Amino acid sequence: MSAAPVIAAVDGSEDSLRALDWALDTARRRAAPLRVVHVRQYAAWGQADVLVAGPADEAGDPVLDEVRARLSERAGPPAVEYVAVEGVPGAVLREFGADAQLLVLGSRGRGGFASLLLGSTGLAAARDAACPVVIVPRPGREVHGEGTPEPGPRVVVGLHVDSPDDAVLDFAFAEAALRGARVQVIAAYPWPVQTWAAGQLVVAFAEQKAVEDETRSLAENFLASPRTRHPGVRADAEALPGDAAGHLVAASRDADLVVVGRHRRRLLAPVRMMGSVTQAVLLHAASPVAVVPPVPSQE
């Protein structure tokens, strides 16, 4: 049985070609085939949500012709498959993600407004696809934060100690193993601590060091299992006060990848959603961002 593919979504834009290069490198690391998909938005209005799939026309798709020429200069594996389909990109790519290891897109394609930091296709895919989705940003994003990260390859992952997601941690550790990277675990805790009293939020008495130590202790406990499964991967847990999104964006500077989770479905919100932290990281991180869905039993 052949391995599931890594999918690169292309539309001829520079953003999608950067995503293609990232997907090619990742497919090689995973010893997986690469599937290059171009979704042509030519479908009739009445069929806009219908997936009309078929093998790419060898001479009839200029976007795929450009990709073939680009990849013909790259020697060695992986095997590459080219597919052209018609439909709405966000809806079509979600379907392709059902049998893929990974879906890789640029932060913005040809369509949409130039001022947008993340296109609607990438947002829809990250929210809806059954497989992890990686969004590759444009180069030159500036992020701010204190300190200089330790040199060397690094995968950053966010850990919510109140509701840890095993799928997110496993993905981060597996990617770090493939890249010979360490895992930087960011566990943010609210500070100052607030609680409800007399119908309003008030600052609760708490010693910050105690809250920080408890957060770090919980994080270390949750890391025990992935460390056992990936004994060659070094993981460093950091307990930091305040905004989780801000810490993850700051840590994205010079990182190989930032890994975040997608919201589990809630009883009163049965549709798929993305949390505010995940959206903020997608919009502002300087490195590629992987959005990992929960395991099906948790959706």
Domain housing 263: 154-298
Q: What is the dihedral of CA 23, 28, 30, 32, to 10 degrees?
A: 80
Which structure tokens are listed for 16? Answer: 């999608």
Task: Specify the pLDDT at position 200.
Answer: 56
> Is residue 169 located within the same domain as residue 125?
no
> Is residue 167 located within the same domain as residue 255?
yes
Q: How confident is the model over 1-30, as a mean pLDDT?
A: 92
CA distance 63 to 42: 14
Task: Specify the pLDDT at position 273.
Answer: 57
> Is residue 159 located within the same domain as residue 132?
no
> Is residue 255 located within the same domain as residue 285?
yes
> For residue 145, is it within any domain?
no
> Is residue 165 located within the same domain as residue 282?
yes
Write out the H or E segment, with its range, that includes residue 22. helix 14-30
Domain end: 136, 168, 203, which one?
Answer: 136
> For residue 130, is it within any domain?
yes
> For residue 159, is it within any domain?
yes
Domain tally, the chain: 2
Whether 202 and 195 have beta carbons less than 8 Å apart is answered as yes
- Residue 55 one-letter amino acid: P
> For residue 142, is it within any domain?
no
CA distance 3 to 147: 41
Whether 249 and 101 have beta carbons less than 8 Å apart is answered as no
| CATH (domain of 100) | 3.40.50.620
Task: Specify the pLDDT at position 265.
Answer: 46
| CATH (domain of 201) | 3.40.50.12370
Write out the H or E segment, with its range, that includes residue 248. helix 244-251
Q: How confident is the model over 13-23, as a mean pLDDT?
A: 94
Pairing of strands 102-106, 34-40: unpaired
- pLDDT at residue 245 greater than cutoff 50: yes
> Is residue 121 located within the same domain as residue 208?
no
Domain end: 105, 136, 167, which one?
Answer: 136
244-248: Cβ within 8 A, 24+ apart? 244/158, 244/160, 244/186, 244/188, 244/277, 245/276, 245/277, 245/280, 245/281, 245/284, 246/145, 246/280, 247/145, 247/186, 247/188, 248/156, 248/158, 248/186, 248/277, 248/281, 248/285
pLDDT per residue as tens digits for the range 168-227: 999 999 999 999 999 999 999 987 665 555 555 444 556 888 889 999 999 999 999 999
CA distance 254 to 25: 17
> Is residue 97 located within the same domain as residue 167?
no
> Is residue 109 located within the same domain as residue 243?
no
Task: Specify the pLDDT at position 162.
Answer: 85
Domain end: 74, 106, 136, which one?
Answer: 136
